[in-house]
Amino acid sequence: MREEQKAAHEIHTDFSKELSYGSYLQLDKILSSQHRLSDHHDEMLFIIIHQASELWMKLILHEVNAAIDCIRKNDLEPSFKMLSRVSRIQEQLIQSWSVLSTLTPAEYMEFRNKLGHSSGFQSYQNRLIEFALGQKQGHVLSVYKHDADLFKTMEDALRERSIYDAAIQALSMRGLPIDDAALNRDWAEPYEPNTSVEEAWLTVYRNVDQYWDLYELAEKLVDIGSKQQLWRFNHMSTVERIIGHKMGTGGSAGVSYLKKVVDHRFFPELWSLRTKL
């Protein structure tokens, strides 16, 4: 008992002039940011799931953008840790859909009308992640025109190289022949599969010892692309479970739109080469 009392006595308790856990994390702001628009109990779940997801997305962008910088500098190894972390974060996001799926259709209908036209379709961080991974869709920027600064941020991101564009550049820097059309294209346009890129990746996969770092980069990208697809699929399944085939609150086709999104594949040559190995 004396040992316990001694240990308790040694715990620091005076934070009147020092940084505390709560102040460091600004918990007063975070935990006071859940404002329900209805009196329904389950709206709190709906808000927190989406807020937590946005925090994880912020970390994904932090890691992916840093990885892109490393790859463009031909310093691949530091990017591996960053991309591994992205994969773990994606697992958290995938799991979040199972929590949201505890919301039943009848419960959601109790507060859905309060959301107006706000929708996850408008998540600019999710869109920035898609841009960073290579899915460029300029037409989606129209939903951000109400905020000039955000619109500028989105436009700039649309025109930046994706992580896959950076990886293709890394292939070229290692002496692998890549068509100019793949190296000097309009970064704002959707990426189109290129035969020279597929051949370069095939060379990497057939000569792992010689190109180990490029091989490791490719597998990190495949992992991220696969998990992004799984996140999309779980998103679509959860939406269908809760609202069926109703139109989305933001005006999208809802589940029909999400099913089309699931069909898109990131880093296409890293998938097609598997058949040809």
CB 118 within 8 A of CB 169: no
102 marked as part of a ligand binding site: no
Structure tokens at 116: 């107006």
Cα dihedral across residues 62, 233, 120, 54: positive or negative: negative
The SS3 of residue 227 is helix
- Phi and psi torsions of 40, nearest 5°: -75, 135
Residue 239 is which amino acid?
V
108 marked as part of a ligand binding site: yes
159 marked as part of a ligand binding site: no
How far is 224 from 84, CA to CA, in rounded Å? 8
48 marked as part of a ligand binding site: yes
How far is 163 from 131, CA to CA, in rounded Å? 9
How far is 177 from 202, CA to CA, in rounded Å? 12
Q: How far is CA 159 from CA 98, 136, 149, 185, in A?
A: 35, 9, 16, 11
How far is 75 from 72, CA to CA, in rounded Å? 7
80 marked as part of a ligand binding site: no
50 marked as part of a ligand binding site: yes
The SS3 of residue 87 is helix
49 marked as part of a ligand binding site: yes
Residues 6+ apart with CB under 8 A from 251: 117, 119, 121
Could you tell me which residues are annotated as the binding site for substrate? 46-50, 108, 112, 249
Could you tell me which residues are annotated as the binding site for heme? 235
Could you tell me which residues are annotated as the binding site? 46-50, 108, 112, 235, 249
